[in-house]
Amino acid sequence: MDNKEYETMKIENILERLSKSKFRTSFHLKNKDMDYIDKKGLDVINDHARDFIYKRLSPAIIPNDGKQTPTKNHPVFIAQHATATCCRKCLYKWHKIEMNKELPKEEQEYIVKIIMTWIEREYNH
């Protein structure tokens, strides 16, 4: 099994676990989110996800951890709550990504892939 296959399997596994959480499954894209994706395209949404993760989650210390991700107004924000990638506490609890260390590029990309997988499933549903 190569790295890409392993990562896909890991993402499938975490999305399956998240699907059993009443809180995580309460998040869904609304019509305005779908319209925004239609207007911008998935590539732009992916760029936004990458930027949000870099700025809001990747620093070692986040003063407002647990409050840095809104629950509305962008498809990525909704997806972050649905995929438990909204704060460092959730990243640790669900994804076993250590707190209090800067996220390396590989972990940032993993988080973006989870978010985009969720968004694409919601969008195509």
Question: Tens digit of pLDDT for each residue in 39-77?
Answer: 999 999 999 999 999 999 999 999 888 888 988 899 999
| pLDDT in the model for residue 59 | 95
Separation of alpha carbons 82 and 48, rounded Å: 17
pLDDT-derived band of residue 5, with 50, 70 and 90 as boundaries?
Answer: confident
| pLDDT in the model for residue 75 | 98
Six-digit token string for 58: 């990747």
Separation of alpha carbons 79 and 119, rounded Å: 6
Burial class (CB in 10 A: 0-12, 13-18, 19+), 63: exposed
Separation of alpha carbons 76 and 112, rounded Å: 9
Q: Residues with Cβ < 8 Å from 14, sequence gap 6 or more?
A: 83, 94, 95, 114
